[in-house]
């Protein structure tokens, strides 16, 4: 747009007394569009949350207006109902925090992005054992054990948890399996990090451990489910 047709030019001209500030309709339209394009106008517009809040407030106000309005004694009940609706909407929009956190945690298992369920891991371990791949069989069955315990919310297996940290934490709710858990963690580390071949006896021991823990009732002795973490340790 030429400078002579801008609002700034018109104001300057009026200040000097050259011309009156009476733009033609096309120029006035251009000025209006230019002014409304200012980001300050868009920032001042109400958001979706503002509109919802205003609609709820208007609805509440309408309930107490006119000859058929609700008595003031119902205000607490209506406020509670509105609060419940807002909580429901928040859960639908943002999700349940605990479930969302659990989904993020479940994606990582001993440092690997592994989204297989406990059942899938057990099947993959059995397939590996059938073909004599004891490295994969031992690793997947130990992961199945950890995922199963975490899914039961006995303990939480977080990113950064090592095999031995998991075994130590799981030994608290399953004290009779303390030695077997430590041996299973040793076998997992041996095939996963020390490049040991593993053997059928180690795999069968982890299978038996997994089956026993799956059938056992954890002894939580009044404490909340623990968290298997290894502060400062590398994820395994």
Per-residue model confidence (pLDDT) at position 228 = 54
Q: Which of 151, 152, 197, 189 is nearest to 167 (CA)?
A: 189
Q: Which run of H or E residues covers position 157?
A: strand 155-157
Per 3-state DSSP, the chain is made up of helix, strand and coil in percentages (nearest 5) of 65, 5, 30
Per-residue pLDDT, 221:
61
Task: Show the tokens assigned to 156.
Answer: 């939480």
Q: How high is the pLDDT of residue 223?
A: 41
Burial class (CB in 10 A: 0-12, 13-18, 19+), 106: middle
pLDDT along the chain (236 residues), means of 10: 52 50 69 67 66 73 61 65 72 55 57 85 96 95 93 85 92 95 95 92 96 91 47 39
CA-to-CA distance for 100 and 110, rounded, in angstroms?
A: 19
Nearest of 129, 150, 136 to residue 218 by alpha carbon: 150
Contacts of 148 (CB under 8 A, 6+ apart): 118, 210, 213, 214
Domain ranges of the chain: 3-44, 48-95, 102-228
Q: Are 236 and 189 in contact (CB under 8 A)?
A: yes
Phi-psi region of 83 (alpha: psi -120 to 50; beta: other; left: phi over 0): alpha
Burial of 161 (0-12, 13-18, 19+ CB in 10 A): buried
């Amino acid at each position: 747009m030429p400078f002579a047709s801008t609002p700034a030019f018109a104001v300057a001209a009026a200040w000097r007394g050259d011309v009156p500030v009476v733009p033609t309709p096309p120029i006035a339209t251009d000025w209006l569009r230019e002014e409304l394009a200012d980001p300050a106008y868009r920032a001042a517009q109400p958001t979706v949350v503002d509109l919802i809040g205003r609609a709820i407030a208007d609805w509440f106000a309408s309930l107490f207006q006119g000859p058929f309005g609700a008595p003031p004694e119902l205000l607490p009940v209506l406020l509670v109902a509105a609060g419940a609706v807002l909580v429901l909407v928040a859960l639908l929009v943002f999700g349940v925090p605990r479930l969302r956190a659990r989904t993020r945690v479940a994606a990582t298992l001993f440092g690997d992005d592994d989204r297989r369920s406990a059942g899938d891991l057990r099947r993959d371990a059995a397939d590996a054992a059938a073909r004599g791949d004891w490295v994969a069989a031992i690793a997947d069955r130990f992961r199945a054990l950890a995922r199963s315990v975490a899914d039961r919310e006995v303990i939480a297996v977080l990113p950064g948890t090592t095999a031995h940290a998991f075994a130590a934490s799981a030994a608290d709710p399953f004290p009779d399996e303390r030695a077997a858990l430590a041996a299973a963690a040793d076998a997992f580390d041996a095939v996963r990090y020390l490049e040991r071949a593993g053997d059928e006896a180690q795999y069968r021991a982890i299978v038996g451990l997994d089956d026993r823990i799956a059938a056992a009732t954890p002894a939580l002795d009044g404490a909340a489910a623990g968290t298997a973490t290894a502060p400062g340790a590398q994820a395994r």
